[in-house]
Structure 1
Amino acid sequence: MFYVYRMVMNRGIFSRLILWFLVISLVPLSSVAYMAYVNGQQHLKKEVTNQLRAIADTRARLIEIYVLERSRDVATLSRMPTLIDAMEKLERAFDQSGIDSPAYTSVEHEVRPFLTYYKEAADYYDLFLISTSGNAIFSVNKGEDLGSNYRTGVYKHSILANVFDKASMLLETQVSDFDYYQATNEPAAFIAAPIIKDGQVIGVVALQVTNREVYALAQNYAGLGQTGEILIGAKINDKAVFMTPVRHDINADFRRRITIGSDRELALQEAVQGTRGEGVVTDYLGEEVLAVWRYQPAFGWGVVVKIDTAEAFSPIMILRTNSFIIAIIAMLLVISAAWLVSRSISKPIRSLTQSARVIAKGDLSHQASVPTTDEIGELAGAFNSMTTQVRDRSEELASANAELLTYQGSLEAQVDTRTAELARANDKVREWGKKLEERVQEQVTQLDRLGRLKGFFSPQLAESILSGGGEELLKTHRREVVVVFLDLCGFTAFTDSFEPEEVMAVLGEYHRVMGQLVVAHEGTLERFAGDGLMIFFNDPVELDNPAESAVKMALAMQQQFVPLRAAWKERGYDLDLSIGIAQGYATLGAIGFEGRWDYACIGSVTNLAARLCDEAKGGQIITNKKALAQIEGMIQTEAQGELMLKGIAKPVQALNVTGFKS
């Protein structure tokens, strides 16, 4: 304020006169208007707050009455002979036969009409009968919690289990908080009462309440104007959850949530945490509201009654606007009077000011002309003398500036030369960076292609293709190879007895274990055929001793299959692994068509390996002497005699490989 005063005082006589007129007239007027505004605001705020407080207390009381009435309903129902008889019959049928038995169904059909009628007539969401042991033996809605045990089952920590325990232990009607219920996947509240016969508790009846009556309480906006609302919420975990629709969000129930501790809807946060109060807060829409909040302990709910401050204090806004208009009119009158008085005093000063503006624009030859001999005339003379001195100084500065411009031109030429050199160097750096980026991208592409090829070919074949030898390898050629054929014994019966999903899971485990061993022993996987796998050695990469690699892989497969077979056995899968090995010449190369190629091995040696696999029993590795010629002294075998194999003209001397010699 002092700064404003100094600024105005420094502007001249005209401004000072106006300032004092304003101070003399507007300060008292502003004080009176402000006091009237403050008193009116306090009075209206008190009146509106009292109205909101009355509505909040009424709604909280109505909710309490609603809970008391519902509690009496449940207590009355628990003492009805019809309900006691239904409880005994249902529990007897449930304990003897279960809920899916004809006996239970017969009793359930007998008691359902009465219980369903009571549930619908009293407007409940569901009705439960729970045995003393905790079994849910009846539900009108037949939800997924029917048949579960509230003492030992999955819902033992639910709000229904909690209210059941309290009712059966305290022997009186109990009301739960409104909280999340897992069986319906949404918030719920329950009222439960013990069922007593001859002084003994024989069960508990529990009713799940609906929100319709509470919705009606929340949607009664009488006395709340155009923006007023009633919020009913509950604390669930760390959230204040809206229990009912609200005026500005009809879908708010159970969907709109306020994090406890946030800066929105502090009134509801306080209410659901058990406190009561009133004041101006920010609501869930970010609007400033006048609110009154209460805690309703029956359901653990918070009740908030609020109205936008813009609407609540609108009469004060009107009063403030009228006061402002009056102040503006008074200010205009004061300014007009001050202008008339100060004009005769300030005219010579304005003339001198005009001369100063001309000189400020650069006309240093201009001289101020003020035809007075008072202080203002003296000021004009001093002003003219100052102008002459400024003109002389300006000429000196112009000469110095010309010299400076000459030096600046030379400096700019040097800067341009250096800039051009830097631009050329920058171009070279960008060119080197581009070449480096292209080389890195080429390497990344090569690695990506190798990863994709390894998914379809053996690692050796994939690497050969990418290294440039792929075209020769894929051409048809003839080579001596060792072929290994795998088969799951009992797989056909297994697929007939179990679901396709289980079959696919078994094949996934089987292929994963066997596939890792194929890669580890440098074999080439020719194809998958369900449970059948064909692997060959010595192509596309030649090996020093392909028979040794094939036998080592087969023995490792039988060893790795032992824990796999045991795990399957526990699941009821009776499967075993048989392996056949043969050695001979075959034709190899790419077969297929444009867009789809396979690397194949064709010849009688593949048929022989498949036939030997067919003859093998679970856990055996059957081969012929030719395949073992190079490693005969290294392995242990069991003679299997001569076998006549389908498609093979001569008998085959078969051997079962049991391991390598130590």
Structure 2
Amino acid sequence: MFNSIKVKLTIIFLLWSLVPLVMLRFIVYPVVHRAFEQMVIQNLTGVGHKQSEFVSSWMKERKNDAALLASDTCIMAFHRCLTDSAEFKRILTQLEFVRDTHGYKDILIIDKEGKVKAGTEKNLVGIYLTEFDFFQEAIKGKVYVSKVTPSTFPALNEFGDREYGVPSLFVSSAVRDEGYNIQGVLALQVDLVTLSNEMRKVKLGETGETYLVDKDGLMITESKFINTIRQMGLIKKRTSLELKVIDPTTGKLTYAAEECVRGKEGYDAKGYLDYRGVRVLGVWHWLPEYGWGVISEIDLEEAYAAPMGMQRQFLVTIFVLAGVLVLVSIYVGRRISVPIIGINEATKRIASGDFSQRVPVTSTDELGQLAQSFNTMANSLEEKEFVHNFNRIIASSLLTDVFGAVSNEIKKVVDFDRISITRVHEKEQAFFVTFALTRGYTSNELRAGSMSRKVGSMMGDMLATGKPVVVDDTENGRYWSDKILLKEGIRSRLGYPLSFQEEIIGAINFSSKKKGYYTEKHFAILSRIAPQLAIALENARLIEKLKVQKAEV
């Protein structure tokens, strides 16, 4: 099979055609894919940095709010105000205004003994908060951000109701009097839902989200997928302080959460399972000031939708092109190999003695020229074989005995429906139809042995010019014999003069039922057998003459 030139050419063309596609798949595509990956990671990293900076900036604003409010003149004098005084009412009004305009849940003023002296929630007035870190640190003169912990007193939830255990975050600042002496603490209870909503304003695709985790890996903001998580049974009310960011398949912290609690920052471009069990890309930052990790994630399928789509399109394109290239390779291989195979087969037949083999010339390129050269060679070999056989037959016996064999041999190179040899009469203005062989029809007025006049005949023209004569159509022929042959169905004729010792002694004549069949291309082969045929005709004449002389004696 692989010895066939057709198969070899097809394989070669196929390999050369597929090499660029293979290079595209294994060299160009990985580069493009990596570029897409880098672009995705750069975008994700950019979002992560922006979210980290936003959280830091947002919390800084909360700290500034606490410090500024604590330094307000009215609040600085809270310890001297009676609860029913106008000054105290102005303090409450100011606290409510700040709560409503800045989105805080509650604002409390605590004296230095830890007792709530004033606040936006009346039910909290009079309770002691000495055990809370936001009081303990602020009373030392700091502006402090507390840990996110479940409330031990009724606090506002995300629905506007008060309940115990609500995730609470306080920002507190010391309250000093005019002498810069600490008289108490101002505490702002931050709404974590507001922080979650603000973080969601930075869009990260359809599945992207950013959330905060504490040092234990607990989520302290609300997840974008809270309904899904609730259906999974991972939470009851909210994700803040209820959802631990763990991989559901291992029960351990997700890769991003684990890196965060270690105080590291980075990203993962390969993908890892998040708390839903979905493979995601992630970037994370650790905020040591607050003990929080900022994690930004997006589903891997969405993040790499473009490169994956490109890969699918690329593979489809490769398969389609490969299919087309296979067909083209087969076609080109066949187009090149078929003429070569044809020449090879024809060469074998010529080698076995069949000189009639020819190959079709289907193009003008090198293959067409090769086929044309082969046919020229085959013509030359066939002519040589024909001349050889013709001379052998002529030399084997008298023309009268071998005319049939001679006719059959001539028919291999010049087709005819009727063939005849005429001989010029030595004395009369006439010629003899010495030999005639008619095929395919019975009429034969110009039969062997008949004598016809030279005037107005094809023989007469050949005697006058010494050149071959062609009649394309006997219907329009100028010779008297054309009308006779037309009745017999002959439409075209060819006469070739036979010369002996530079004298025309006769002619060989061909007739065909096809109009315009004979042309000058037949002259070349006839010129090679005419001398031998003329000698045979002269020998026949001499033998006939000897017979006549012998009979007279």
TM-score (norm 2): 0.48
Q: Greater RCO between the two (CA within 8 Å, min separation 6)?
A: 2
TM-score (norm 1): 0.41
